[in-house]
Chains A and B, each alone.
Chain A
């Protein structure tokens, strides 16, 4: 479990979470990036840029 950097809510992720995975904060809905798994660390995911996509 780690704190949401946006709203300070407790955020949990699955045991299979990997570095770089994107999760949502259950409280504020912010997109968060898993920056470390052990111990769990979260950061706000970057905003979409012009060349993002498929």
Chain B
């Protein structure tokens, strides 16, 4: 296939989507935008979408997930796959994959009642971090420093949250040296990484963390590539903590944001992503 057509599934065109579209345009790659707000899937009939591969860039996990499932059943290659979105979009599923495959990650407990979650919290020892299974940008994650705070958070989640907030995901708090690492994996290579510095314990750049370049050491590359493979591979961003005994994979993101990382690392991340997308189209 000399000239594959790339479908880009999105709704909002953020900086990342614009850079990806510009990269496709600069290469004269035929491109078709698939707006997830306008799509109607006629499930019984595979339409002729006129695309050879779909690059998923939805801002909404639910839309991404179900679209990828349909595309997958229809035999349309996607970046990333449904499996990757399903695993990465759920912290419990991600953590279990990492554990299964021997990728180091923070100690984690899952419980289904506030009472059992409190037992798990006390067993892990304070401080702990409580996270919703689905969510991003550091939203609704709580650093819990003592029993009183744990009781309050658990009650709030139980009473105010949807049923998903009553699946209690409790993780050991890993002290950070004022930073963590965000690494970008494309295929079998960690193409770039940044340190995210913040005075706050939440270091997401979406929450004000400052980015500087992080050299991709063999150790970092190894743990990140293993994490990427563990969740199914593709184009993913790995959040890594520098623990006392080595690197720990905290989360894996499947619709990665990279606007703060191109100038910082000197790596043309959108070009690497499009290289990969085109390689998937021609497999």
Contact = CB atoms under 8 A, between A and B. Distances in A.
Contact of A54 (B17, B62, B256): B256
Interface string B3-16: 00000001111100
Q: Size band of the A side of the interface?
A: 10 to 19
Contact of A53 (B12, B17, B35, B136): B136
29 contacts: A18-B18, A19-B13, A20-B10, A20-B13, A20-B33, A20-B35, A21-B12, A21-B13, A33-B12, A48-B137, A48-B139, A49-B60, A50-B134, A50-B162, A51-B62, A51-B89, A51-B134, A51-B135, A52-B59, A53-B61, A53-B135, A53-B137, A53-B139, A54-B136, A54-B137, A54-B253, A54-B255, A54-B256, A54-B257
Q: Size band of the B side of the interface?
A: 20 to 34
B254 interface: yes
A44 interface: no
Given A18-B18, A20-B17, A54-B136, 12 more contacts: A18-B21, A21-B12, A21-B13, A21-B18, A22-B12, A48-B139, A50-B134, A50-B162, A51-B62, A52-B137, A53-B136, A54-B137
Nearest to A51: B61
A52 B256 contact: no
A34 B14 CA distance: 11
Q: Taking chain B's interface residues, is the majority helix, strand, or loop, or is none over half, making it mixed?
A: loop
Q: Taking chain A's interface residues, is the majority helix, strand, or loop, or is none over half, making it mixed?
A: loop
Interface of A: 18-22, 33-34, 45, 48-54
B24 to A, nearest CB: 12
B14 to A, nearest CB: 6
